[in-house]
C-alpha cells in the first residue's frame, strides 16, 4: 500500500478499494492517478487499467483452456480437462434448453461465455487480498484491484451488452411496430380507442422503467455481492496485524468466509447467465 496510508486502518481500506486509474489530469496531461481525488478529477473517460487487464486476461484464459480441450477431443475416454469442459458445456446447454424455447445459435455460446468469464472474475475474490497488490507494489504499481466484478464499470459493461442484444432481437423478431406495442399497449389494455390512447403514457412509463431496470439490476446485483465479499475479506485481513489472538481469529474467519464465499462466486455467475437467457427469451416471445 502507499506509504502515507500504511499506518491507518482507513488508509488500508481505501488503498485496497482504489483502482489503478489512467486518464487526463486537470492540467491536460495524461497519466496514472495517485489517489482517489486524482482519479475522480479524471472524469468519466478515465480507464481502470487493473479491471481491463484482469478481465481480458481471464477471458483469454477461458478461451485458451476451452480451445485446448476442444483440440484434444476424441471419441475415446475423455481426459480430466476434457471431462470438466464437457460437464460445463452440458450444464450451460441444459439451462439454455430449459429457459430458451426459440431458435438462436448465439444464445448458448453467449451463456457459456458469460458464465465461465464471470465465474473466473468472481473467483479472483478468493485470492488473499494482499498477495497480488503487494506483488504489484514491488513492480512499482501503486494500486491493484484484482476482482473485475467489484468494479461497476465491468458489470455495467457486460449488462449493457446483454441489454443491446435484448433490444436488437426484440426489434428483429417483432419489428418496430411490435416492439413499440410492447412498450405502449400493456399492462393496461382496452378495446375502446380513446382509452387505448389515454393508457399510452402510463403503459410507456411502466414498461420503459421495466426495460431500463434490466441492465441496472443485472449489473448492480453482481457488483454488490462481490464488492461486499471483497470488503469483508479486507476487514478480516486487518485482524492479522492485531496480535497473536486476532491473527488466529483472522485466519479462522478468512477460511470460513472463503468457504461460504465460494457459493456466492458460483451463484452470481449462474444468476447472471440465467437472467441473460431469460431476457433473450422474452425478446423472442410475442405477447
**Distances in whole angstroms, Cα of residue 116 to Cα of each of 68, 88, 223:** 15, 9, 16
- Supply the pLDDT for residue 5: 43
| Torsion of the alpha carbons at 228, 3, 254 and 120, rounded to the nearest 10 | 60
Active site (annotated) includes residue 217? yes
| pLDDT digit string, tens, across residues 40-96 | 999 999 999 999 999 999 999 999 999 999 888 777 777 788 889 999 999 999 999
Q: With 60 as the cut, is the pLDDT of residue 165 above it?
A: yes
**Distances in whole angstroms, Cα of residue 173 to Cα of each of 170, 184, 285:** 6, 17, 8
pTM listed for this prediction: 0.92
Answer for the pair 269, 119: CB distance below 8 angstroms, yes or no: yes
Residue with cell 473466473: 120
Active site (annotated) includes residue 221? yes
Q: What are phi and psi of 95, to 5 degrees?
A: -70, -40
**Distances in whole angstroms, Cα of residue 76 to Cα of each of 21, 256, 287:** 49, 41, 47
Rounded Cα gap, residues 182 and 169, in angstroms: 13
Nearest to 225 by CA among 139, 145, 155, 120: 155
- For the chain, give every domain's residue range: 50-284
Active-site entry in 79, 217, 241, 285: 217
Amino acid at each position: 500500500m502507499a506509504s502515507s496510508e500504511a499506518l491507518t486502518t482507513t488508509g488500508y481500506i481505501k488503498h485496497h478499494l482504489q483502482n489503478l486509474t489512467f486518464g487526463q489530469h486537470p492540467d491536460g496531461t495524461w497519466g496514472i492517478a495517485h489517489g482517489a481525488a486524482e482519479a475522480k478529477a479524471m472524469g468519466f473517460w478515465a480507464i481502470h487499467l487493473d479491471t481491463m487487464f484482469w478481465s481480458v486476461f481471464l477471458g483469454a484464459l477461458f478461451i485458451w483452456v476451452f480451445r485446448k480441450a476442444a483440440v484434444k477431443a476424441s471419441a475415446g475416454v475423455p481426459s480430466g480437462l476434457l471431462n470438466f469442459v464437457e460437464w460445463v458445456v452440458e450444464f450451460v446447454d441444459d439451462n439454455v434448453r430449459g429457459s430458451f424455447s426459440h431458435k438462436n445459435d448465439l444464445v448458448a455460446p453467449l451463456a457459456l461465455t458469460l458464465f465461465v468469464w464471470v465465474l473466473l472474475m468472481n473467483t479472483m475474490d478468493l485470492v488473499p487480498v494482499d498477495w497480488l497488490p503487494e506483488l504489484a507494489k514491488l513492480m512499482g504499481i501503486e494500486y491493484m484491484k484484482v476482482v473485475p466484478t467489484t468494479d461497476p464499470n465491468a458489470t455495467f459493461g457486460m449488462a449493457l451488452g446483454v441489454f443491446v442484444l435484448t433490444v436488437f432481437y426484440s426489434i428483429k423478431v417483432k419489428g418496430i411496430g411490435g416492439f413499440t406495442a410492447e412498450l405502449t399497449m400493456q399492462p393496461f389494455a382496452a378495446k375502446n380507442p380513446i382509452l387505448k390512447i389515454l393508457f399510452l403514457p402510463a403503459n410507456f412509463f411502466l414498461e420503459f422503467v421495466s426495460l431500463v431496470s434490466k441492465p441496472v439490476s443485472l449489473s448492480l446485483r453482481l457488483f454488490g455481492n462481490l464488492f461486499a465479499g471483497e470488503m469483508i475479506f479486507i476487514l478480516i485481513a486487518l485482524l492479522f496485524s492485531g496480535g497473536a489472538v486476532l491473527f488466529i481469529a483472522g485466519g479462522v474467519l478468512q477460511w470460513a468466509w472463503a468457504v461460504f464465499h465460494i457459493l456466492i462466486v458460483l451463484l452470481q455467475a449462474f444468476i447472471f447467465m440465467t437472467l441473460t437467457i431469460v431476457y433473450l427469451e422474452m425478446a423472442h416471445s410475442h405477447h
